[in-house]
Structure 1
Amino acid sequence: MTSFQDRERAFEAKFAHDEEMQFRIIARRNRLLGEWAAAKMGLDAAETDAYAKAVVQADFEEAGDEDVIRKLVGDLTSAGVDIDEAAVRAALDEQTVIARRMFIEPQ
């Protein structure tokens, strides 16, 4: 095998690893965001777990974060929580940092 082929395989492996890590970080972020929203809505432990899973599933509906944001704003508003889209986006950013640290920083 040539060094070019070795480098090509190494780049492909790194790309695959990076994509998998990004997927895991986003899934964890969405779970944390669901738990955050569940706390705002006053859900119990079982409801919180189910809701967090629903938020993770909501991200599979379309590309990007808009589907998750819409779900959270709608659910929080329906539950009588006084919140706007900017607050949800701020929470999304905070949970992204936490999720990234969970996977990247050694424990």
Structure 2
Amino acid sequence: MTTFDDRERAFETKFARDQEVHFRIIARRNRLLGEWAAERMGLTPEETDAYAKAVVQADFEEAGDEDVIRKLAGDLTAANVDISDAEIRAMLNDKAAEARRQFIDSAN
């Protein structure tokens, strides 16, 4: 029975690690997305840092990416930046790839 118990523990450990990695990559993606949006809005470096943190926090409102997209769209529109949801979604994908690369580079 210990072989099965060991396998079960190994799978549980791998699952927990995979979830942690996913969370870190998504948080990094949201931070990069916030920095991009802050640049588009012309925020100062201090404001950019605070805004990027706010975008990361916005992702905890509901499951999925819609809460982040809604925040960015609303804030960019309020700052008179002409942007579509499609552009935000495309940047979300770009920043996800960048965050994944950064995570892999930092692990090596």
Normalising by structure 2, what TM-score? 0.95
Q: Distance in 1 between matches of 2:88 and 2:64?
A: 15
Output one character per residue of 1:32-60: Cα deviation in whole Å (capped at 9) or x when no partner: 00000000000010000000000000000
Once the two structures are TM-superposed, the CA of residue 103 in structure 1 deviates from its matched residue by 1.3
Task: Indicate the SS of the match to 1:64.
Answer: coil
Q: Distance in 2 between matches of 1:14 and 1:104?
A: 17
Aligned to 2:58: 58
Q: Distance in 2 between matches of 1:79 and 1:103?
A: 31
**4+ residue runs of structure 1 moved beyond 2 angstroms?**
104-107
Normalising by structure 1, what TM-score? 0.96
Q: Distance in 2 between matches of 1:51 and 1:104?
A: 25
Aligned to 1:71: 71
Aligned to 1:89: 89
CA RMSD, Structure 1 to Structure 2 (Å): 1.1
Matched, 1:44 2:36: no
**Gapped runs of 5+ residues in structure 1?**
none
Output one character per residue of 1:65-98: Cα deviation in whole Å (capped at 9) or x when no partner: 0000000011001101010000000000000000
Amino acid at match of 2:33: L
Aligned to 2:7: 7
Once the two structures are TM-superposed, the CA of residue 104 in structure 1 deviates from its matched residue by 2.2
**Gapped runs of 5+ residues in structure 2?**
none
Identity %: 72
